[in-house]
Structures are given as C-alpha cells and as structure tokens.
Chain A
C-alpha cells in the first residue's frame, strides 16, 4: 500500500555520484600543470596579440590609432609645465643679444619638446662673436642662454677693412659694427691674426712708446715691424723680438735714438743693429765729418 502520509522533505533521488568520463578527463586535463599554464598565460596572450593584430590590419584603424597617439603627445607637450615663455641671454652685450635673438628666431612661447638645444647651441657657437654658449631650460618656462663673448683686443687692418680680433686671433666683428670703449692696438699685415699673442706681448713691451706708436705690421708672415706715427719703423727679428725691442727702448732711453733723425732701426740681426738715417741727417753727418763719400747707408 502506498504511504498515506505525505513524505516530508525533499524527495531522495539517487543521483550517480560518479563523474562522467568526460568531466573526469577534463578535470585531469585541468590539473595538468602544462595545460593550466597554457590556458592561463598562453591563451590570453594569444587572444590579445590576435585581437590587436586583427584591429590594426585595417589601415584606417592604424591611422586612427597613430593620430590619437600624436594628439595625446601634442596635448602633453603643450601643457604649461613644458612651455618655454622667456629666453634669457646672459653674458652678451645688448647688441649681440639682439643678434642672437635674431639668429635663433624662436617663436615664443614654444614647447620644450620642440627645442633642440644641441642644434641651437651649435648655431650660436657658429656666430664669430660667441666663443661658448650654454643653453638649458629652467623651471618656470625659462630658456637660459649663457654666452661667453669673444673680447676684441686688437684691430687688424686688412686690405678690405679693419676688423677686431680676440686674444687668440679669432674674428670678432668688423670695426664699423662696434663702438669701442677704449682704443685698441692695431696690427696689420698678412698672417697677423695668427700671431696675435706675440703682438700683444710686443705691445706690452712697447708700453713706453704707446703714444708715438701706430701699430705693428706683420712682415712676410714671420716677423714684426713696429711702425711709429711718423712712419719710422723698428724692424724686429723673427725670433725673440721682445729683447730686441727692449734694446731699442734702452737705446732710446740712453741716447734718445727715436728723437733723432732716423728712418729705420733694423734689429733683424741682433748682433748687428742698423740705423738708417734720414737723407738730410746723412748729408749733415757727412758734412760734419768732412767727407762726402758713402753710399747713404751709414
């Protein structure tokens, strides 16, 4: 007879507790370390690469992505943190600073990513008046340019026009472009710019002659002539010109040689200095000696 009382609780169904052969095999496969790592690492990586590859295989997508990247890059570059608003030039005269600004031709404000400091530095150092340039971008949007200017020390009278040279003989500027603060010594002659240091030393030695001296002339690219204001010359040897000049000055101190009527003092051979008298003086000398013979070079 069927039970009259309703069964309480869930009806017991005899479910097979055993796993099916496929679930059993799948679980074993899942517990295999190689399979697991393949599924956990290999499959996502494969899907990612395939997905990205498929997306970018269309040129339009590729262009869009590259545009977006460029846009993003530009946005970052144009942020105020990276903007350069001011250029500050230190160590240059106002005239030179103007020139530098004109050369660099920066359209400020500009992003610091767009500035090629190395190239700008090369550009600046190509300017003759600049011996060294340093550029760096400081916080607050400053482009600091520190210039080491070439200081003109001599005037070189070339065939074309007088130019200014610095202590190493480098061209600084044309004389007409500069207003000189103090008068500078003058040199002339071919190859004079290669021996500026020697010329400066000679100028220093010749300090007592300063007000009578016109300048130095490089002769034959090997030796110097001191040219005085009235056209008289002191010919200096190629080597050791300073002692020779010292001797002339000593001679001048002792006997006032330069006050006398001499045209040239030839010190080219230090053992045998020569003095060329002026024709008038020569005649006078001959008259005084009572002789009228000689070839004019006493």
Chain B
C-alpha cells in the first residue's frame, strides 16, 4: 500500500511540474481510437473551489491547443494487448497533437476503460485528539480505513474520500475546522488489474513521456458528460466505447461506483461482419452510416448494397434492407444494455434517489438508442455530450470524446484522493527521522 502511495504521489508531483511548465497532454487509450489533447494552462490559480466556483465552471484556466485522434491498434476491451502496436498508435496520436500545438509535451495523463475495475466502499473511524478536525485528522481517518483484501495483482486506481461524518452529522464534504469527538469517513476505492498499469507505463515510457496521472475512463466520462445537478443528485453515466462499456455512478459530486461491461461498439461491428459476411471495415461503415436499433416501416424499403470484391457476381451484388441491419445490431445493443442494467442493480443503483442515466461514448450515437435504453434502463435516460472546453476542435466535441474532455477536467482539477493527504505519523516506519519530524510538526 505504501508503494502505491509513493507512486501516486510521484505522479502528483509530475502533474505539478507539468502545471508549472504550462503544457500537459492527456491521452485516452480506447479500444476504437486513441485520442490525445494538448492542454495549455494559462493561469492555474484563476478559479479555486474556495472561490465558490465549482469544478464545472472553472475550465477557463486551460485551453486545448492540440488534438489528434488515431485508430487504435493492439487494444482489446480497453486493455493493452499488443504493446508495440499500442505504442505506435500512442506515438501517432502524440505526434499529431504536438504538431498541432507546436509545442513539445513531456507529461501525459492517461485514461483507459478496461482492466476489470472493481469498486469498494471503505469506512474508517477515528477519535479526535484536540476536538477540532485538522488536516492531519483527515489523514488519520483516511489511513484508518480498513482496506479490504482485493487480491493479488490488483492496484488501486482511485481512492477518493466521498463523505465525512462527525459524531452524528454526516454528509460533510470538508470537515476541517468542525468540532466533534469522532470523525468517520467513507472512501471509494477503485482497483484494477496491475498488469494493465504496468503495460501502460511501459508504452508511455517508450514514447519518452512521463506519466503524470492515471484515471479510469468511466469516471472521467462521467465528469465530462454529467451536468452539475446530475452529479449532485445522483446519476449513472454509461460510456459506451468500442471495446468496453464503462459505467460510473455519481452522487454528491463524487463517484461512488464504477464498473465495466466488456462489450461495446466493436462487438456490434463484428456481429454485422459475421451476420452479413462482409469485412470489418465495411461493417463499420454500414454501422455508422445506416445503423440503428429501432426499425420502422420505411426501413424495409431502404436497400443497402453490400459491395465486395470477391469476384463472385452474386456475392458481390447482394443488397439488404436497413431493417435487416437493425435486426443484426439490436440484439447486441440490448445485450450490452441489459448487462449494464445488471451491473447497476448489483451496485444498488435503484436505491438512489435519482434514477438519471446518461449515455455517452462513441457507441451511443446509434440512432434510436435512447428509446431502446429507456425500455431497459428506466425512463430517465438522456444522451450526453461532453462539456464545452475552450479550444477543442469541432471534430472532437462529440460524445465519443467525453472521456477526453473529462480527462482534461480531471487534469486541471483533480479530485482529492487518499494520497493527497499526509501520511499520519504512526504509519511511518518506526525509528524514522521523518516520523519524528512529523510528530513534531503535528503537535506544535
């Protein structure tokens, strides 16, 4: 655990350095595309949360100066599968964005969808020594959380304090300065497979970049596409990507649950390819151009030519109706949404006061998806697009880029995590000079 603490703190230090330098890259490693944005931070201290300006409103301090997207290679289910291919794809995206930004970037914040994220809710409780909650008390209560045994080969990706309770008052977002006896906290811990981080680190290192942070793409997609009241009152964001569908549940502006369904738009494409016996890229083209999930009467009459080059005259001149295409696509989309429903039910989403569901991601652009989703997920479904960010090109404003935009917001205004607080003195190894210094500083 302390290893993780140190590596995460090192990443935070690199992020600080990048902010000082003013230029940072964010990289969304998806199964369908790899997108890179270069952000320039002009005045990082212009808005602070203490000014009464929320994180959603304060995006004016950064500006997108470079954007590049490339077709993803070597990524399956949101995880890096072929390192060399992924490395090349990352290099392509980074180079394109650098070229557009006309500036070199050295620090990158990465998000990815896969690696089987698992959420844990942690609680910790500690009695206060002085009667007033100070920063080191917050650190102590965070350290007092009993960490579950999440198994070998798992790494903590996010560990965010979600709620603080002081005696019998709960729902405090910032307990510092309050007077009480017992401080307790709820923390949301997200773990992923460790090898995914290692692979990612390797690829980033091979591109001569430094990793300044990692985020789960389902989390950052929620940050970008949920509006402020949805985040406050409770909502689920479903980020339908190419290889996997991420879902995250927000309440009181904190993520409390994240999970991934290992199915996405690429599976729809492969269904079309298999069902209609056409190559993958033709299937992708048909899906984006004629795809849909709700068939109407006119779709029976709309014929789609399936051109091919096999030389077989009959095979090369097949036509299908659009209704047939929809018939191929719909079961897979339904399957994905039902799986999402199952995950949400398992997380207890139906106990939340608000049942809002926001669909975003590249695969959410299928026409008629909102109608289908409202049948499966409940009727408070809307299609979400990411926030507007200064300088973002028009081509990168669609729902497919909500993870990118969310990652830029995350880069500019990161959520306080467990490792942002000082380690309490008793967690340092015994006979450590640091421990003595820490004790001295806490008590005087």
Residues of A bordering B, CB below 8 Å:
1-4, 7, 16-19, 21, 24-25, 27-28, 31-33
Answer yes or no: B88 CB below 8 A from chain A CBs. yes
B311 touches A24 (CB 8 A): no
Instruction: Please indicate the chain A residues that have their CB under 8 angstroms from the CB of B91 in the complex.
Output: 18-19, 21, 24
Instruction: Please indicate the chain A residues that have their CB under 8 angstroms from the CB of B89 in the complex.
Output: 18
A-B contact pairs, 17 of them (CB 8 A): A1-B311, A3-B309, A17-B92, A18-B70, A18-B91, A21-B91, A21-B206, A24-B94, A24-B95, A24-B207, A24-B208, A28-B98, A28-B104, A28-B208, A31-B102, A31-B104, A32-B104
Instruction: Please indicate the chain A residues that have their CB under 8 angstroms from the CB of B311 in the complex.
Output: 1-4
Residues of B bordering A, CB below 8 Å:
70, 88-89, 91-92, 94-95, 98-99, 102-104, 206-208, 309-312
Most buried by B among A2, A19, A28, A33: A28
Instruction: Please indicate the chain B residues that have their CB under 8 angstroms from the CB of A21 in the complex.
Output: 91, 206
Whole-angstrom distance between the Cβ of A248 and the nearest chain B Cβ: 104
Instruction: Please indicate the chain B residues that have their CB under 8 angstroms from the CB of A17 in the complex.
Output: 70, 92
A31 touches B208 (CB 8 A): no
Among B92, B98, B312, which residue has its beta carbon within 8 angstroms of that of A31? Answer: B98
B70 to chain A: closest residue by CB: A17
B92 touches A19 (CB 8 A): yes
B206 to chain A: closest residue by CB: A21
Number of A-B contacts (CB under 8 A): 40
A33 and B105 alpha carbons, distance in the complex (Å): 11
A32 and B23 alpha carbons, distance in the complex (Å): 12
A3 and B95 alpha carbons, distance in the complex (Å): 39
- Those 10 A-B pairs whose CB atoms lie nearest each other, nearest first: A18-B88, A31-B104, A3-B311, A18-B92, A1-B311, A24-B91, A19-B95, A32-B104, A28-B104, A18-B91
- 11 A-B pairs besides A19-B91, A19-B92, A27-B99 with CB distance below 8 A are A1-B310, A1-B312, A3-B310, A4-B311, A18-B70, A18-B88, A18-B89, A21-B91, A31-B98, A31-B102, A31-B104
B93 to chain A: closest residue by CB: A18
Given contacts A1-B311, A3-B309, contact A31 B103 (CB under 8 A): yes
Whole-angstrom distance between the Cβ of B208 and the nearest chain A Cβ: 6
Whole-angstrom distance between the Cβ of B49 and the nearest chain A Cβ: 33
Instruction: Please indicate the chain A residues that have their CB under 8 angstroms from the CB of B70 in the complex.
Output: 17-18
Instruction: Please indicate the chain B residues that have their CB under 8 angstroms from the CB of A18 in the complex.
Output: 70, 88-89, 91-92
Whole-angstrom distance between the Cβ of B302 and the nearest chain A Cβ: 27
Instruction: Please indicate the chain B residues that have their CB under 8 angstroms from the CB of A31 in the complex.
Output: 98, 102-104
Q: Decide if the interface of chain A is mainly helix, strand, loop or mixed.
A: loop
Whole-angstrom distance between the Cβ of A39 and the nearest chain B Cβ: 14
Instruction: Please indicate the chain A residues that have their CB under 8 angstroms from the CB of B98 in the complex.
Output: 27-28, 31
A25 to chain B: closest residue by CB: B208
A212 and B208 alpha carbons, distance in the complex (Å): 118
B88 touches A27 (CB 8 A): no
Instruction: Please indicate the chain A residues that have their CB under 8 angstroms from the CB of B309 in the complex.
Output: 3, 7
Instruction: Please indicate the chain B residues that have their CB under 8 angstroms from the CB of A25 in the complex.
Output: 208
A1 and B208 alpha carbons, distance in the complex (Å): 47
A21 and B207 alpha carbons, distance in the complex (Å): 8
Instruction: Please indicate the chain A residues that have their CB under 8 angstroms from the CB of B207 in the complex.
Output: 24
Instruction: Please indicate the chain A residues that have their CB under 8 angstroms from the CB of B310 in the complex.
Output: 1, 3
A281 and B104 alpha carbons, distance in the complex (Å): 127
Instruction: Please indicate the chain B residues that have their CB under 8 angstroms from the CB of A4 in the complex.
Output: 311
Instruction: Please indicate the chain A residues that have their CB under 8 angstroms from the CB of B208 in the complex.
Output: 24-25, 28
B313 to chain A: closest residue by CB: A4
A27 to chain B: closest residue by CB: B95
A18 to chain B: closest residue by CB: B88
Whole-angstrom distance between the Cβ of B288 and the nearest chain A Cβ: 20
Instruction: Please indicate the chain B residues that have their CB under 8 angstroms from the CB of A19 in the complex.
Output: 91-92, 95
Whole-angstrom distance between the Cβ of A95 and the nearest chain B Cβ: 83
B71 to chain A: closest residue by CB: A17
Whole-angstrom distance between the Cβ of B345 and the nearest chain A Cβ: 42
Instruction: Please indicate the chain B residues that have their CB under 8 angstroms from the CB of A32 in the complex.
Output: 104
Whole-angstrom distance between the Cβ of B196 and the nearest chain A Cβ: 22
Most buried by B among A2, A21, A24, A32: A24
A17 to chain B: closest residue by CB: B92
Whole-angstrom distance between the Cβ of B20 and the nearest chain A Cβ: 15
A4 and B313 alpha carbons, distance in the complex (Å): 11
A275 and B311 alpha carbons, distance in the complex (Å): 160
A139 and B88 alpha carbons, distance in the complex (Å): 77
A103 and B208 alpha carbons, distance in the complex (Å): 84
Whole-angstrom distance between the Cβ of B363 and the nearest chain A Cβ: 24
A24 and B104 alpha carbons, distance in the complex (Å): 11
A1 and B103 alpha carbons, distance in the complex (Å): 51
Instruction: Please indicate the chain B residues that have their CB under 8 angstroms from the CB of A33 in the complex.
Output: 104
A18 and B203 alpha carbons, distance in the complex (Å): 14
Instruction: Please indicate the chain B residues that have their CB under 8 angstroms from the CB of A28 in the complex.
Output: 98, 104, 208
B92 to chain A: closest residue by CB: A18
A22 and B89 alpha carbons, distance in the complex (Å): 15
Instruction: Please indicate the chain A residues that have their CB under 8 angstroms from the CB of B95 in the complex.
Output: 19, 24, 27
Instruction: Please indicate the chain A residues that have their CB under 8 angstroms from the CB of B88 in the complex.
Output: 16, 18
Whole-angstrom distance between the Cβ of B261 and the nearest chain A Cβ: 30
Instruction: Please indicate the chain B residues that have their CB under 8 angstroms from the CB of A7 in the complex.
Output: 309
Whole-angstrom distance between the Cβ of A76 and the nearest chain B Cβ: 48
A154 and B70 alpha carbons, distance in the complex (Å): 110
B207 to chain A: closest residue by CB: A24
A5 to chain B: closest residue by CB: B311
Instruction: Please indicate the chain B residues that have their CB under 8 angstroms from the CB of A27 in the complex.
Output: 95, 98-99
Most buried by B among A7, A18, A25, A28: A18
Instruction: Please indicate the chain B residues that have their CB under 8 angstroms from the CB of A24 in the complex.
Output: 91, 94-95, 207-208
A1 and B207 alpha carbons, distance in the complex (Å): 44
Most buried by A among B92, B94, B103, B104: B104
Instruction: Please indicate the chain A residues that have their CB under 8 angstroms from the CB of B104 in the complex.
Output: 28, 31-33
Most buried by A among B95, B103, B310: B95
A25 and B104 alpha carbons, distance in the complex (Å): 11
A183 and B296 alpha carbons, distance in the complex (Å): 141
A244 and B89 alpha carbons, distance in the complex (Å): 123
Instruction: Please indicate the chain A residues that have their CB under 8 angstroms from the CB of B206 in the complex.
Output: 21
A18 and B87 alpha carbons, distance in the complex (Å): 9
Instruction: Please indicate the chain A residues that have their CB under 8 angstroms from the CB of B103 in the complex.
Output: 31
B102 to chain A: closest residue by CB: A31
Whole-angstrom distance between the Cβ of B211 and the nearest chain A Cβ: 16
Instruction: Please indicate the chain B residues that have their CB under 8 angstroms from the CB of A2 in the complex.
Output: 311
Whole-angstrom distance between the Cβ of A17 and the nearest chain B Cβ: 6
Most buried by B among A2, A16, A31, A33: A31
A140 and B216 alpha carbons, distance in the complex (Å): 88
Instruction: Please indicate the chain B residues that have their CB under 8 angstroms from the CB of A1 in the complex.
Output: 310-312
B84 to chain A: closest residue by CB: A18
